[in-house]
Amino acid sequence: MAHSNWPEWIYVGVVIALMCWVGAEAWEAERLVEHVPEGAEIIKVTGQQWFWTFEHEDGTKEIGELHVEKGKAYKFEIHSKDVNHSFNIHDYVVLMDAIPGRVNTVWFAPDAVGEHDIQCREYCGLIHYNMRGTLIVEEPHS
C-alpha cells in the first residue's frame, strides 16, 4: 500500500533540530564559562591531605584562607600534591578536580563582599570531610 511518510520526516527534522539546539546551548554556555578574561589574576591552588594552599601572583601564600577583591577576575591553577581532590567554592559554582601531575584551570569573578566556604569535593581520605577553607572577598584595595 502506498503511503505518505511526510510525518516521519517532520518528526526526524524536529528531533535533529532539538538536538542541534541542545548541543548549541550547552556548547555556548561551556564556551562562555571557560573563556578566561584578559588580565585575570592567577592564583595557584594546591590541594593536599587535608588542606588547601593558595599562592598569589605577587608570591603571597595563604593556607586555608583566600583573600580576593570584589570585581576582579581570578584564574585558579589547581593541582594536587598527593591524591585526587576537587576544589569547590559552592557559592560561586567553582568546581574543578585537583589531580597530581597536572594543572587544571577555572576562573571566577566575585561580585560582592563576603565570606564563602571552600571545600574538597572528591573523597580524599580520612579527614576529607574537614578539608575546608574560607574565601574572603574584600573591597578593592586601590
- Other CB atoms within a 10 A radius of the CB of residue 63 amount to 11
Min dist. Cβ of residue 137 to other proteins (A):
13
What is the DSSP code string of 14-60?
HHHHHHHHHHHHHHHHHHHHH-PPTTPEEEEEEEETTEEEEE-TTS-
Q: Rule CB under 8 A: which residues touch other proteins?
A: 9, 13, 16-18, 20-22, 24-29, 31-33, 35, 37, 73, 92-94, 108-109, 111
Min dist. Cβ of residue 125 to other proteins (A):
29
Helix (H) or strand (E) holding 9: helix 6-34
- C-beta closer to other proteins: residue 111 or 138: 111
- C-beta closer to other proteins: residue 50 or 108: 108
Min dist. Cβ of residue 5 to other proteins (A):
12
Q: Which amino acid is at 48?
A: Q
